[in-house]
Amino acid sequence: MPQAPDPSTALDAELAADLAEREARGLYRRRRIVQPRPGARARVGGREYVNFSSNDYLGLACDPRLADGLREGLTEHGAGSGAAHLITGHSALHHELEQALAAFTGRPRALLFSTGYMANIGIAQALVGRKDAVLEDRLNHASLLDGALASRAKLIRYQHADADDLDRRLAAFREKQPDARGLVMSDSVFSMDGDIAPLAELATRCRAQGACLMVDEAHGLGVCGPQGRGAVTAAGLGPDEVPILMGTLGKAFGSFGAFVAGSETLIEHLIQHARSYVYTTATPAPLAASALRALAISREEDWRRDKLAELIQAFRAAAEAHRLPLMASDTPIQPLMLGEADRAVALSRALEAQGYLVQAIRPPTVPDGTARLRITLTAAHSLDDVRGLVTALAENMDHEMDTR
Ligand code: PMP
C-alpha cells in the first residue's frame, strides 16, 4: 500500500506555496532585529539609523525616568505578575496606574488590559452578541475589526470618517432590530492615515439613534489636546458622548499595555465578562511603574507636544515644496501615498540604504492600491533629521521618475 505523505511535510509544502505567492506580490513581511537608541535612533545590524517608524511620539521609550520606574518596580514586585488580575496578579502599582488613568481621562474608572489588541477584542465581546451590531469605520485598526468578529454581532462597516453614512446604516439596523444594541467603534487618530475621526459628529449620531460610542485613542493620547489628554477631549467630548474610551501605553507613553476608561458599571461589567481580561496573566507590575512615570511626564512636559507640532509643520512644508504625495494629516503619522506595494518597498529600501528607517505599509494592512510609506515623527527627532528625510525622499522620488 502506498504510504500517505507525512502530514507535516504536506502542510509545509502548502504553506511554502502561500509564502512564495506573498513574496511574488511584494507583500512578504520581514522582521529586523532592532536596538532602540535615544534621539529617535535605532541600531540594526551594527549600523545606526534615524527611526521614522516608531510610535514613540513623545520620545519617552528610552527616557531614563521610565527605566528608573521599571527598576524600582522590579525591586519591589519582581519580573512577573504570576497570575491573572482576578487571581493574584493585580498589584498596588497596577491599581495606582488605573486610578491615574481614570483621572487623566476624566472618567470614574479605568481597567488595564495587557495590550490594546486584547482590550479591543474584550470590549466588543463583552458588550454585544449575536442579535446586536458593531458599526465600524472602514479604516479602523485590525483589532477593532477582530473584536467585532469575536463578538459574533453583525459587523457593519461605514465609509471612512463619514458620519452621514454611519447614520444611514444605524437607521437601517435600528429598523430591523429596534431593541438590539448598537456599538459604534472608531479610531480617533487613524493609525495608517493619520487623520482624525469626526468625533463630535459621530457622537451626535450615536446619541440620536441610541447607539453607544467607543473610541480607540491609541494614537491620540499623549499626542492630541492639552496635556496630551487625547483627541476626544480636544474635540470637547466627555464621558456622556464617549462612554467607552480605550488607550494604549506602548505608543506615546513609551511603555507597554492598554486600558479602557469609563463608568464604574462599565468597568465592573468588563471585569466580569471580557475574556481577554479574565483569562490572561497580568502584565508585569514594573511596566505599570514605567507607565505611571510616562503619564506624569506627558502631563508636565508640554514642550514635547510643542516640538512635535513644530516638526510636523516643518516636515509638511518641506515635503509640499518638493510636491511629495502626502496625505492630509496634521498628526505625527504622515503617510506618503505610493499606490503599488513594490514602489513602497523599493523606496523604503532606498531610504534604508541612506540611513533612514521608514516602514512600507502594504495590503492587507491598507486597501489594495494604497501602499504607502508610513512616516512617523516624534519629539525625539531634530529639525535636521526631518529636513534630511525630506531631501532623501525627494531625491529618491526624482530618481524613480527618471528611471521609469
Ligand atoms: N488600536 C490601534 C488604533 C492601534 O494602532 C494599535 C497598535 N498598532 C492597537 C489598537 C493595538 O495596541 P497594542 O499594540 O497595545 O496591542
Q: List the pLDDT tens digit at each of the 404 positions of the chain.
A: 667 777 788 999 999 999 999 999 888 888 999 999 999 999 999 999 999 999 999 999 999 999 999 999 999 999 999 999 999 999 999 999 999 999 999 999 999 999 999 999 999 999 999 999 999 999 999 999 999 999 999 999 999 999 999 999 999 999 999 999 999 999 999 999 999 999 999 999 999 999 999 999 999 999 999 999 999 999 999 999 999 999 999 999 999 999 999 999 999 999 999 999 999 999 999 999 999 999 999 999 999 999 999 999 999 999 999 999 999 999 999 999 999 999 999 999 999 999 999 999 999 999 999 999 999 999 999 999 999 999 999 999 888 777 76
Per the CB < 8 A criterion, the answer to whether 133 and 154 are in contact is yes
Is 94 annotated as catalytic? no
**What are the residue ranges of CATH 3.90.1150.10 in the chain?**
34-61+302-403
Distance 30 CA to ligand 1 centre (A): 19
Which of 77, 154, 251, 381 is an active site residue?
A: 251
Angstrom distance (rounded) from CA 403 to CA 386: 26
For ligand 1, atom 12, which residue shows the shortest CA distance?
Answer: 116
Predicted TM-score (pTM) of this structure:
0.96
- In DSSP terms, 214 is beta-bridged to 185, 244
Give dist(CA 11, CA 167) in Å, integer.
46
Query: How many angstroms does the Cα of residue 243 sit away from the middle of ligand 1?
Result: 19
Query: In degrees, to the nearest 5, what angle opens at C-alpha 38 toward C-alphas 32 and 41?
Result: 40
Ligand 1 within 6 A of CB of 54: no
Q: Cell 488590559 appears where?
A: 113
How many other C-beta atoms can be found within 10 angstroms of the C-beta atom of residue 175? 8
Beta strands in 5-108 (DSSP E): 34-37, 41-44, 47-51
**115, 248, 251, 283: residue to mutate for ligand 1 pocket, most atoms within 8 A of CB:** 248
CA distances from 219 to 184, 265, 348 (A): 18, 26, 23
Q: For a substitution probing ligand 1, which of 53, 55, 141, 256 has the most ligand atoms within 8 Å of its CB?
A: 141
Ligand 1: nearest atom to the Cα of 190: 3
Exposure class string for 195-217: b at 16+ Cβ within 10 A, else e: bbbbbebbbebbeebebbbbbbb
What's the CA-to-centroid distance between 226 and ligand 1, angstroms?
A: 22
CB of 258 within 6 A of ligand 1: the answer is yes
CATH of 78-300, one of 3.40.50.2300, 2.40.50.100, 3.40.50.720, 3.40.640.10: 3.40.640.10
Domain 34-61+302-403 part of CATH 3.90.1150.10: yes
Is residue 273 annotated as a catalytic residue, yes or no?
no
Cβ of residue 191 lying under 6 Å from some atom of ligand 1: yes
Looking at residue 404, what is its pLDDT? 66
Q: Provide the pLDDT for residue 2.
A: 66
pLDDT value for 31? 92
Every domain range in the chain assigned CATH 3.40.640.10: 78-300
Catalytic residue among 114, 191, 255, 276: 191
Output the pLDDT for position 1: 61
Active site annotation includes 191: yes
Query: How much distance in Å is there from the Cα of 93 to the middle of ligand 1?
Result: 23
Give, to the nearest 10 degrees, the angle between helix 64-77 and helix 92-105: 140
